[in-house]
Structures are given as structure tokens and as C-alpha cells.
Amino acid sequence: MIIDPSKLDSHSVYKLLIGSVVPRPIAWASTLSPEGVPNLAPYSFFTVASRNPPTLCVSVGERPSGEPFPKDTLRNIEETGEFVVNVVSFALSNAMHESSKDHPPGADEFEEAGLTAAPCEVVKVPRVGEASVSMECKLDRVVPIGADNLVLGRMVRFHIRDELYGGTGRIDVAGLDPLGRLAGNYTKVETIFELPLEDL
């Protein structure tokens, strides 16, 4: 089957994209409004944009309700120039889900999800205290792409739970137990292996 995305409505294209680009890591983005209200929301259009300088990219889409004003995350990042990407471990799945709900503007999703707003070192934005890995970011630029906005952030600090960072300089991925997005559902890392496989 060959499908021309220009012949489909945007929702149908979205469903094909999220079912094909899998699994996707989740950027649990924390921001701070200019008035000092914390915000927390997950985004699965997320990856590394550059290793040097270390730069992360998060695509922030329209509100689910279709309202024309931008999401709190995007507005806060543009106005303050800072954000934090927190990694969602399996144990934090329900808290992440609670933060994904369409809370009214100005709501504190840290409180709604029962999470700790822990201080960062460089940025004023709080990180998720319960997260095993958090990355402080300074805004590099926002690139509008159609209905979405690609946020590029220069990563300026890692926060890594001690037991996950060994002498090899690598993170213990099994111990991190990250959650991923799989089409409309979620997945966790349950099998880790090296290639090539002899019996494949």
C-alpha cells in the first residue's frame, strides 16, 4: 500500500505517524510562567538535535481542544527562555498521565500530579524531584513548522540519580526503566540486547 499524505486529513496522517515512528521517548517538560507558576506536560515528539553543543528538540503541537492560543509550555518557554526535560520512568506513569490532562491555564501540574518541584542549578524552572534523569535547557530557538512548533533547547545541566550513573560514564537504562510512546499506548524497556544476534 502506498499512501499520499496530502490526500488525507491531518488527524489520519497523525495516526499513521505515531504508529510508524515507534517507540518514542517522552519529554516531560517543566516550565515556569513569568508570574512564577510551574507547568508540567509530556511530549512524545522529542529527541536529541545535536551532541555538540548538546541540544534537545521538542515539538509542541496545538491544544487538543483546538483553541487558538498556545499551550502553556510553549508560551512559558518563549517568555522565559528556559525549560527542563524530565525522563519518565515506569513508576511515574500515572503521575505523567495526570500532568497530560488539559488543565486550565495557570494550573500547577506538579501539585495536580502529586510531584515535587525540585530546584535546578542554572535555570529557574523546577525539575521533577522524583525523576531519575532531568536536563536543564536554555532556549536556542523556536521553529514554526505548520501547526506545530519545534523547540530547540541547549542542555546546560544533567541531574542523574546516583545509582544510575556508573564508572563507565553511561546511564543504567534498565535501572532508569524509561516509558515510551507506542502509537496511542505506552511501552517500557523489557529486553535489552546487543547485535548481531546469532539465531536471527
pLDDT, residue 67, reads 58
pLDDT digits (tens, 9 = 90+) for 72-124: 999 999 999 999 999 999 999 999 999 999 888 778 999 999 999 999 999 99
Identify whether 154 is part of a domain: yes
The pLDDT value given to residue 66 = 58
- Cell, residue 70: 498556545
Within a domain: 196: no
For residue 134, being part of any structural domain is answered with yes
Instruction: Write out the residue range of the structural domain in which residue 56 sits.
Output: 5-188
Segment 133-184, tens digit of pLDDT:
999 999 999 999 998 999 999 999 999 999 999 778 899 999 999 999 999 8
Query: Structural domain tally of the chain?
Result: 1
Task: Compare 64 and 28 and report the one with higher pLDDT.
Answer: 28
C-alpha 19/C-alpha 49 separation (Å) is 22
Nearest to 33 by CA among 84, 77, 69, 70: 77
Domain assignment of residue 90, yes or no: yes
Determine, yes or no, domain membership for 200. Answer: no
Q: What is the pLDDT of residue 167?
A: 76
Place of cell 487558538: 68
CA distance 34 to 40: 15
Residue 54 lies in a domain: yes
pTM value?
A: 0.94
113 closest CA partner among 185, 40, 179:
40
Report pLDDT for 63.
Answer: 63
Q: Is residue 194 in a domain?
A: no
Residue 9, domain member (yes or no): yes
Q: State the CATH number of the domain containing residue 150.
A: 2.30.110.10
